[in-house]
Amino acid sequence: MGRILFFVGLAVLVWVAWAISRRNNKLDNEERRELRRLRREKAEGEKRAERTRALGETMVKCAHCGTYFPKSEGVRRGDRLYCSVKCRDKANDTKGADPS
CA 68 to CA 73: how far, in whole Å?
Answer: 11
Pair (42, 74) in one structural domain: no
State residue 10's pLDDT score.
95
Pair (24, 52) in one structural domain: yes
* pTM as predicted: 0.41
Pair (62, 100) in one structural domain: yes
- The domain tally of the chain equals 2
Which residues constitute the domain of residue 13?
Answer: 1-56
Pair (18, 44) in one structural domain: yes
Pair (37, 61) in one structural domain: no
CA 83 to CA 95: how far, in whole Å?
Answer: 18
pLDDT tens-place string over residues 61-79:
999 999 998 888 889 888 9
Pair (48, 97) in one structural domain: no
The pLDDT-based confidence of 48 (bands split at 50, 70, 90) is confident
Pair (49, 62) in one structural domain: no
